Structure 1
Amino acid sequence: MHYDVFNGDADGIIALLQLRLAQPMESTLVTGVKRDVQLLKTLSVSAGDTLTVLDISMAQNHAELRQALANGARVFYADHHKAGEIPDHQNLEAHIDLDANTCTALIVDKLLNGRFHTWAITAAYGDNLVAKADQLADKAGLCALEKAQLKELGILINYNGYGANVGDLHYAPDDLFKALLAYDTPFALLADKSSPFYVLQSVYQQDMDLALTTEAQYQSEVLGVFALPNCAASRRISGVYGNLLANQSPDCAHAILTQNSDGTYTVSLRAPLNNKQGAGDICSQFVTGGGRAAAAGVNVLPKEQLEHFIEIVEAYYRGQSI
């Protein structure tokens, strides 16, 4: 068996898209919503099985990765999240880059020598690496309209990955991947008026309009906190809304709180774009938290811990000890 294991956001989907456009392969797709990162827990692999694992933290899947290797599976692993100790094993090919200005699709792009470079640029836009994506797009000779098109496409694919479960999404991530596989370039997808781009474009604006009516629950010069109501639209828009706020105020951190039915919050934290560090370390202090330096989250934050969360974020970005 071969398994393609990938995060359900723009970076994970497009990282795999590049690989399968270059190397078509029959595989079992293993993915989920963006916050489903412990995907190796769902697998039971045997000697001779092969895995491609993309855009999920090795640290969050460490025990399962070791077990897969011990069982005789071969694993290709590419990621930009916290890795922890990388196993030294002959059956593991690991490509881990924790630079805050890269993403998994850009790691794969290098391995493929830029064969599907415009897809990789699209993923960088989707992962809110706007300055990096602009730099790569300029170097590739793309015009302003083409850059804007790739940016919108990346945002829409990323937007589709957010939700409490796959039922919140407009496309299941594995279905979206399979749909995108029909297009060698993002521009071919854009040229097809029946493609997922146009479906997502129409529903995205409805969800964003909801978010844009939200006033800050807490605001200082280093942190803005916004709370969205308990509904599927909030869960879908939370991540890209945080990215939008981060781009509008690059010196400020932003936390998007989505209310859950049990009274807790799901939190998306964006570090300031001009200081892309700390988000993962902050969120990791909470039981269900984690992420990378520039963007992280807490799956379940009790309301009584919100004030403490704000204090920790404030202290960090004011340069105080936490």
Structure 2
Amino acid sequence: MHYDVFNGDADGILALLQLRLADPKDSTLITGVKRDISLLKQVDTQQASSVTVLDVSMEKNIDALEKLLERQIPVFYADHHRAPAIPQSSYLHAMINTSPDVCTGLLVNDHLKGKYYLWAIAAAFGDNLKASALRQAKLRGVSESLAANLEQLGIYINYNGYGRSIEDLHFHPAQLYKMLLNFENPEPLFTDKESIFYQLQQAYHQDMGRAESAQVLFNNDHCKVVCLEDAAWSRRVSGVFGNDLANQSPDKAHAVFTKNIDDSFTISVRAPLNNKQGADEICVQFPTGGGRAGAAGVNALPAAQLEEFIQVFSDYYK
């Protein structure tokens, strides 16, 4: 039995989409909301014959990975998050690149020699790697209008991945992946007004309109912190809202706090787009924190540590 393990955001979904368009396989899909990253332990080591892992932190899944390798189960692993020392095993094919300008979709695009580059460009846009996406679009001769649609598609798919649980999402990431697998390239999605593209577009704009009233907790020349209420809509926009703020003020760092039912906070951090460093270094100082240099987060920050986090955040970028 083959397992495909992937992050439920645009990068994870569209990385897998490229691979399976190139190499179709009957597989068991393991995914979840974007912040559900301890996914590899869900693989049944008694049943698995091979495993593909995409856009899932190796650092957070190293124990499960080592168990698979010990059982001599071949693993293909592509990712761009913080990573420990990569295990040395003939059963592991690892493509790990933690550059802030790279995402898993682009790594898979290189692996496939650009066979499904439109999906890779959408993945990069979804991970808010706009400069990288535009470089790829220019390299491939993609028109401005198509690039604009790919940007929106990436944003909408990414938006769909955020939530406390699957119930917060409009589509289960595995369902969304299967729907997109019907398309060799995304262009038909833009002409069919009933497509998933337009369904997500409507939901996205409705939720983002609500986010405009977010409470500002801290703001100076270097960084800004905002807070959203405990609601399904706010959990859905927590990441894409941070991206939107970053794009509006590329010299500032941003943190979006979302209240949880237990009085803790889920946090999405975006480093300044003009200095994509430090988001992961800040977040790993707190329990349940992790991510990458340009974008990171904390799953459940206790309310008692709110001021401490803001202090660490503002001190880092001052």
Question: Which position in structure 2 is the counterpart of 1:3?
Answer: 3
Question: Which position in structure 1 is the counterpart of 2:290?
Answer: 290
Matches within 5 A, 1:242-261: 242-261=242-261
1:191 Cα deviation (Å)? 2.5
1:53 Cα deviation (Å)? 0.2
Inter-partner Cα distance in structure 1 for 2:48 and 2:8: 26
Change (3 A) 1:299 1:48: closer
Inter-partner Cα distance in structure 1 for 2:192 and 2:103: 27
Question: Which position in structure 2 is the counterpart of 1:172?
Answer: 172
Question: Which position in structure 2 is the counterpart of 1:206?
Answer: 206
Contact 2:2 2:48 in 1 (8 A): no
Inter-partner Cα distance in structure 2 for 1:48 and 1:277: 37
Deviations 1:58-97, CA, capped at 9 Å, x for gaps: 1110010000111121100000001101000010000001
Given the alignment of the two structures, is residue 58 of structure 1 paired with residue 58 of structure 2, yes or no? yes
Inter-partner Cα distance in structure 1 for 2:94 and 2:169: 30
Inter-partner Cα distance in structure 1 for 2:46 and 2:74: 10
Inter-partner Cα distance in structure 2 for 1:219 and 1:255: 10
Question: Which position in structure 1 is the counterpart of 2:100?
Answer: 100
Q: Which runs of 5+ in 1 are unaligned?
A: none
Deviations 1:2-57, CA, capped at 9 Å, x for gaps: 00000000000000000000001000000000001110122221386100000011
Question: Which position in structure 2 is the counterpart of 1:236?
Answer: 236
TM-score by length of structure 1 reads: 0.97
1:221 Cα deviation (Å)? 1.1
Contact 2:33 2:162 in 1 (8 A): yes
Matches within 5 A, 1:139-150: 139-150=139-150
Deviations 1:192-238, CA, capped at 9 Å, x for gaps: 33321111011111100010122422101111011000000000001
Q: Which runs of 5+ in 2 are unaligned?
A: none
Deviations 1:231-264, CA, capped at 9 Å, x for gaps: 0000000100000000111111100000001111
Change (3 A) 1:47 1:33: closer
Inter-partner Cα distance in structure 1 for 2:150 and 2:299: 29
Question: Which position in structure 1 is the counterpart of 2:124?
Answer: 124
Contact 1:282 1:313 in 2 (8 A): yes
Inter-partner Cα distance in structure 1 for 2:205 and 2:70: 47
Contact 2:257 2:265 in 1 (8 A): yes
Matches within 5 A, 1:1-322: 1-46=1-46, 49-318=49-318
Inter-partner Cα distance in structure 1 for 2:310 and 2:214: 18
Inter-partner Cα distance in structure 1 for 2:192 and 2:56: 31
Contact 1:40 1:61 in 2 (8 A): yes
Deviating 4+ runs (over 6 angstroms): none
Contact 1:78 1:95 in 2 (8 A): yes
Deviations 1:124-177, CA, capped at 9 Å, x for gaps: 000000111111112211222111101000000000000001100000000000
Secondary structure of 2:4's counterpart equals strand
Change (3 A) 1:87 1:47: farther
Inter-partner Cα distance in structure 2 for 1:39 and 1:253: 29
Change (3 A) 1:53 1:301: same
Question: Structure 2 counterpart of 1:77, which letter?
Answer: Y
Inter-partner Cα distance in structure 1 for 2:206 and 2:16: 29
Secondary structure of 1:255's counterpart equals strand
Question: Structure 2 counterpart of 1:69, which letter?
Answer: L
Alpha-carbon RMSD across the aligned residues, in angstroms, is 1.0
Count, aligned residues = 318
Inter-partner Cα distance in structure 1 for 2:162 and 2:279: 18
Contact 2:6 2:31 in 1 (8 A): yes
Identity across the alignment (%): 53
Question: Structure 1 counterpart of 2:109, which letter?
Answer: D
Does 171-180 or 187-196 show the bigger shift? 187-196
Question: Structure 1 counterpart of 2:73, which letter?
Answer: A
Deviations 1:94-119, CA, capped at 9 Å, x for gaps: 00011100000000000100000011
